[in-house]
């Protein structure tokens, strides 16, 4: 029997790349001490380091096996957890997959296992953030007639958003710009690509877009009932970091600054 090879593993950071790592661990008897995207990895002098190349055939084989031998629900949990921002997720993911292959669909019921609890927790966090963003994305029309949306999520959820908006806005050209991960989903009404994008990309709004944003904010304010305002519940349902990209909060902040400036000028005039 061959001795397992204990090494530090790197891969290209993609989901197919991680599935290729799982394949190599099984068929080459690798026992990783760490699994990291190559741009986050640090060299170690204690263990051998190896980069696993992405192999789409191997990746497809592993993901198909997860769905068939564990469950479709487990496959979704694994994919969502992979999209998490947590850097230490890859070893627990590997343990979760290996354990799932040994016991099948009952894997998610084994809450006594630390790696099961951890993977379920981070997958729920990713799913919740994507769910909220589907409702809180705010698109603005550009001069080119393309609808543009800026997001700054904690997790890498852009693929989960595109699945939703290609159906919701089918036939309409749009861009979702993820400034956290410097990437953009570009849809021309028929086909979709996800490509690297600079964080400070400039856009020019359509002539009437500012007026539409003002009207929407006025409508938003009119719906609110001040006597029933519950800031704590609002923060639970709408994370604060979402608000910097939401029209109604942006416009309201601009209005407050204008009102403050006008008030300050009035006081200076009196004195």
Please state the domain extents for the chain. Answer: 5-129, 137-206, 207-271
Distance CA 194, CA 38 (A): 20
Contact 196, 182 (CB under 8 A): yes
CB neighbours of residue 164 within 10 Å:
15
For the entire predicted model, the pTM comes to: 0.84
CB neighbours of residue 77 within 10 Å:
26
What is the per-residue pLDDT across 165-208, written as a single tens digit (0 to 9) for each? Answer: 999 998 899 999 999 999 999 999 999 999 999 888 888 989 88
| 117-135 average pLDDT score | 96
Burial of 132 (0-12, 13-18, 19+ CB in 10 A): middle
pLDDT of residue 109 exceeding 80, the answer is yes
Compute the residue count for the chain.
271
DSSP 71: -
Q: Where are the alpha helices (DSSP H) in the chain?
A: 15-27, 56-65, 72-82, 90-103, 114-136, 158-168, 209-223, 231-237, 247-270
**Predicted local distance difference test score (pLDDT) of residue 263:** 46
Contact 81, 122 (CB under 8 A): yes
**pLDDT band at residue 56, thresholds of 50, 70 and 90?**
very high
């Amino acid at each position: 029997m061959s001795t397992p090879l204990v090494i530090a593993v790197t891969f290209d950071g993609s989901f197919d790349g991680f599935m290729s790592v799982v394949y190599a661990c099984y068929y080459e008897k690798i026992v990783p001490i760490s699994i990291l995207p190559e741009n986050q990895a640090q060299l170690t002098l204690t263990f051998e380091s190896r980069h696993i190349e992405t192999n789409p055939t191997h990746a497809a084989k592993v993901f198909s096996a997860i769905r068939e031998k564990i469950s479709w629900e487990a496959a979704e949990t694994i994919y969502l957890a992979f999209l998490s921002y947590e850097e230490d997720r890859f070893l627990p993911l590997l343990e979760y997959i290996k354990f799932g292959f040994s016991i099948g669909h009952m894997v998610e019921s084994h809450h006594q296992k630390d790696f099961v609890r951890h993977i379920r927790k981070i997958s729920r966090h990713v799913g919740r953030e994507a769910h909220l963003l589907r409702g809180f994305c705010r698109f603005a029309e550009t001069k080119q007639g393309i609808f543009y949306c800026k997001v700054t999520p904690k997790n890498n959820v852009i693929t989960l958003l595109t699945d939703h908006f290609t159906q919701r806005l089918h036939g309409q050209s749009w861009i979702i710009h993820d400034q956290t991960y410097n990437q953009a989903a570009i849809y021309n009404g028929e086909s979709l690509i996800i490509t690297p994008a600079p964080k400070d990309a400039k856009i020019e709004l359509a002539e009437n877009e500012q007026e539409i944003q003002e009207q929407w904010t006025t409508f938003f304010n009119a719906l609110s009932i001040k006597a029933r305002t519950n800031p704590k519940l609002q923060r639970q349902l709408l994370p604060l970091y979402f608000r910097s990209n939401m029209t109604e909060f942006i416009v309201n902040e601009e209005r407050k600054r204008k009102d403050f400036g006008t008030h300050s000028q009035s006081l200076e005039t009196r004195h």
